Structure 1
C-alpha cells in the first residue's frame, strides 16, 4: 500500500537541499537516508534520500543526483510516497495510520449512526475526521480522546461521544444570568444588539 509521507517545499541553499512538509508521524522511519520513495508526479521519481537534517525546526532533505538549487527547485510540490505493508501497525497502540481509519463507520456511544470517515485532515492543533453523513452532508469531528472514545478496527467503526451541537443543531446555550437560559441571539453582553 502506498502512503504520502511528505511534500517537497522550496529549495534551501545552493547544494540541492529542499524543505519538506512532513505528513507522517514516523519521519525517522519513512524519510531516513537510503529510503527510496515513489513520487507524484511519477515522472520525477523514484527519489532516494541521501541526507536529512533539521534546520530551524524544518526537515531538510537532499536526494541522490540533485546537486544544485535548480534541481532542488524543480522538485517543488512533489509528493513523496512510501510503500507500506497494510498489516503494519504504529508502535503506540493508541495511534493509527490514516488508511486504517478511512471508511470506518462512525456511531455515537448510544449506537446512533453518524456516517463514514471519508477524509482525515491533519491540522497543527489536532486531526479531524471528515465524516460523510447518510444524507450526503459532511461533519467534522475532532480526533481527540474526549470525543472519539474508541476505535474498533475489527468492527470497522469509530465510537464517539459528541458534545451538544457537534453533529446536530441542538447546541445547549449556557447563561451566566440568574433569570434562566439565554435566548438565541441574546447570550452574552446585554448591549450587543444596540448600535
Structure 2
C-alpha cells in the first residue's frame, strides 16, 4: 500500500479549556497518551492551523496541554473540538512483519478462508474490552468482530486484504430472546 504525501493521521482531539492560562484538555488516540506531542507540529485536517505543544501532562483520562500562542481561557475555549493531525510520513516505519498501523487496514478487502469477499474494513474501534474490526458488507448490517489472531489470522497489505475466520454460527439466525414483559 502506498502512502500519498497528503494523507493525515488523527492523533488527538482538543476538549474543554482547563484553567485560565490557555491550557486545554486533549483526548489522545494512541497507546501512549503523551505520544501526540512527539511528532512535531500538529495541524487541522486542511492544514490551515498548526499547533506546537509547549507542555503536556496526563490527568485522569485526558492530557492537559499547553500550546504555544494559546495564553488565555478564551483562546483555549475556541479550540474545543479541534482535531489534531500529522502527515502520515511522520510516523515511524514499521519493521516487524506482523505489525501495522490501524490506519493502513482501513479500506482493505476482508475475505474468508476460501477467498470469498465479506466486505471492506471500515473501522477498528476499541470500546474498552479490546480491539474490534468492523467490516461493511456489500449488503446488510456491518460485521463487528474481535480483532484477534484467531478471527483475523492474516493481514496482507501488499494484496490489500485481510483474511477473516468468522466464529462458528456467526452468520446463522439464532433463536430470538422472548420479548420481556414490562
**One fold, TM greater than 0.5?**
yes
Tell me which residue corresponds to 2:31: 25
Shift of 1:58: 2.4
Query: Which deviations, in whole Å up to 9, do the C-alpha atoms of 1:25-76 show, x marking residues without a partner?
Result: 35544323x8211115755x21111111112342111100111222111110
Distance 1:91 1:120 in 2: 21
Distance 1:56 1:139, change over 3 A: closer
Tell me which residue corresponds to 1:164: 168
Count of aligned pairs: 176
Which of the pair has the greater relative contact order for Cα pairs under 8 Å at 6+ separation? 2
State yes or no: 1:36 paired with 2:41.
Answer: yes
Q: Which has the larger radius of gyration?
A: 1
- Structure 1 residue runs of 5 or longer lacking an equivalent are 172-183
Distance 1:81 1:15, change over 3 A: same
Shift of 1:186: 7.7
Contact between 2:43 and 2:84, CA under 8 Å: does it hold in 1? yes
Q: How does 1:1-195 map to 2 (within 5 A)?
A: 1-25=7-31, 27-32=33-38, 35-40=40-45, 45-85=49-89, 88-90=92-94, 93-135=97-139, 137-166=141-170, 168-171=171-174, 184-185=175-176
Moved more, 10-19 or 114-123: 114-123
Contact between 2:119 and 2:138, CA under 8 Å: does it hold in 1? yes
TM-score using structure 2 length: 0.79
- Structure 2 residue runs of 5 or longer lacking an equivalent are 1-6
Distance 1:193 1:5, change over 3 A: closer
Give the match's secondary structure for 1:71: helix
